[in-house]
Amino acid sequence: MSWTQWFIFILILQVIHGLGTWKLYIKAGRQAWEAFIPVYNAVVLMKIISRPWWWVILMFLPIVNLVMIPAAWVETARTYGKDSKLDALLCIVTLGFYLYYLNYVADVHYIEDRELKPKTSTGEWITSILFAIVAATIVHTYFFQPFVIPSSSLEKSLLVGDFLIVSKLHYGPRVPMTTVGAPMVHDTIPVIGKKSYLFDDNFEERNSSWINKLQLPFLRLPGFENVERNDIVVFNQPADTLLDMNNFNPDRNYYKPIDKKTNLVKRCVGVAGDTLEIRDGYVYINGKQNELPPRAHLQFSYEVTFKRQLQPARIYEIFKKYDITDFPRYGSAELAYIVPAATDEAIAQLKLHPEVAAVAPIKQVEGERDLIFPRDPNYNWNSDFFGPMWIPKAGGTVQLTTENISIYKRAIAEYEGHKVVTRGNQILIDDQPTTSYTFKQDYYWMMGDNRHNSIDSRYWGFVPNDHIFGKPVFIWMSIDGINDGLKNWKFRWDRIFTTVSGGPERTSYLIPFLILVLGLTGYNKWRKKKKSKQS
């Protein structure tokens, strides 16, 4: 729904609330009209049920309100003496309409100074869990979220098994677009493997289903920086049609809300308004080669030929010596092995090894067309030779032709919501002939540092601003061997409690953190001891 439609929907809910509670407001010494005024009625209700005013804010936060609104129903019933488990259950299963029964039928009386603490240990336990979920959901949605590096596309900058803290504050928290879903869960509920949110994912019904009308329009709260070139960014994969982010072979295409698409982490090598080109695997921005930050290390594929036959264990030992960790495979000749990913520094050292006869880069040839964005015969592009191409910018206008429409069609149609059709030499947007288009939002170009082992923008195109999720800022834990089922796992101590960005040397803050924790623990014990002596 649009914001206007949501506004009308909320007004209708206010009328429903007022009709079902106005007598209860009167019994609490308030005026009947106060039950009908949007937002104000919630503030008054919090006073009636003796709950803090900031509950009102929580009742309007998507996902969080799925807990807070039922809690308000239950607390309202308790305020009028209906505090049994059955009353609470009736409030929830009737979606709050049990209050109509209390308002018009039941003979209830307002309890002004009621006991707010649950009467049973079970009730207290449930209350504590619910508010822990609310607090965690707020932090998870609007401040920071944990994220685990699942693939090697950013090696050696970020490693598989790095556990990250992703900041929502840097680029501005994105208000959840999905209004009905499980808190702190992405697209699939663990263990049971079911979809974690309410949405009709069939192609034919995704635009007409009433369930999908419950989606909120995109809204990003203010942040303190913009996405900059070479930032490592977490975002929702634009072309995601998987049922489960870990199952790459679904039985059909599954369409998802933006905030439920698979989370990916890549490096932003091109920002809105840039002209991007890839030459021999290296990115050029506005005609100049992109300079990566100190901790970034590009990796390419190579074929390594040895002078004599060696045992596989010995070959792996040689590769590991130079920090070549991607699993090698047999090459084109008997003594050759293909290294999927290695840095320039590693290859320079490997060439000097006495067992190595030759090292040759594996790259595609300029002009050789591959199955790559925009998958158009007009463009003989591949992963190593790509562009030049302009990245759309909010307010920026592109002149459209039958040649370049394939580059911008998906952005105009899928991400900006227009109907785009090409008929002969004519381009129609929303059934109107056009020769240009002005974009509504910024777009970005995301790539992995592991250039030959990364599914990125070269394959599915631009990443819209509304798909930007957050910025990884901290590695709180790192485990080597996480993809081996943790059979031979070990901690990477030099990476634990380190920042994602910064100078060439990685600094661990683990010891200062432990000292701080021990200091606070000791201080709290001393303070409690001092209070006990005073009492």
pLDDT at 489 exceeding the cut of 70: yes
pLDDT at 486 exceeding the cut of 60: no
**pLDDT at 155 (0 to 100):** 79
**pLDDT at 123 (0 to 100):** 66
Instruction: Kindly state the tokens that stand for 90.
Output: 């009736």
Tell me the one-letter amino acid at 369: R
**pLDDT at 482 (0 to 100):** 66
pTM: 0.87
> Catalytic residue at 530?
no
Q: Residue 433's pLDDT band (boundaries 50, 70, 90)?
A: very high
**pLDDT at 203 (0 to 100):** 67
Give the span between the Cα atoms of 331 and 74, in whole angstroms: 68
Torsion of CA 79, 82, 88, 90, to 10 degrees: -120
Q: Provide the residue count of the chain.
A: 535
Give the span between the Cα atoms of 325 and 337, in whole angstroms: 14
Q: What is the pLDDT of residues 41-82, one digit of tens each?
A: 999 999 999 899 999 999 999 889 888 999 999 999 989 988
Q: What are the C-alpha distances in Å from 227 to residues 85, 120, 203, 284, 385?
A: 50, 50, 32, 18, 25
pLDDT, mean over the chain: 88
Check residues 188 and 276 and name the one with the higher pLDDT: 276
pLDDT at 109 exceeding the cut of 70: yes
pLDDT at 174 exceeding the cut of 90: yes
Instruction: Kindly state the tokens that stand for 336.
Output: 């050759």
Interval 21-31 mean pLDDT: 92
Poorest-confidence range of 150-154, 289-293, 356-360, 437-441?
A: 150-154
pLDDT at 485 exceeding the cut of 60: no
pLDDT at 233 exceeding the cut of 90: yes
Instruction: Kindly state the tokens that stand for 348.
Output: 């320079």
Give me the half-sphere count of Cα atoms (radius 13 Å) on the Cβ side of residue 42: 20
**pLDDT at 119 (0 to 100):** 67
Interval 259-265 mean pLDDT: 90
Q: What is the pLDDT of residues 367-406, one digit of tens each?
A: 888 889 999 988 999 999 998 999 999 999 999 999 999 9
Question: In the chain, what percentage of residues exceed pLDDT 70?
Answer: 96
CB-based contact 89:96 (threshold 8 Å): no
Q: Which of 152, 153, 167, 383 is labelled catalytic?
A: 153
> Catalytic residue at 535?
no
Phi, psi of 326 (to 5 degrees): -70, 140
Q: What are the C-alpha distances in Å from 499 to residues 124, 157, 229?
A: 39, 11, 18
Treating both helix axes as pointing N-terminal to C-terminal, what angle do 3-27 and 40-48 enclose, rounded to 10 degrees? 30
Q: Residue 481's pLDDT band (boundaries 50, 70, 90)?
A: confident
Is-cis flag, bond preceding 433, omega within 30?
no
SS3 percent helix, strand, coil of the chain, rounded to 5, is 30, 20, 50
**pLDDT at 247 (0 to 100):** 67
Q: Which of 156, 168, 260, 266 is labelled catalytic?
A: 266
CB-based contact 461:410 (threshold 8 Å): yes
pLDDT at 533 exceeding the cut of 80: no
Interval 197-209 mean pLDDT: 77
Q: Whose CA is closest to 13, among 54, 53, 72? A: 72
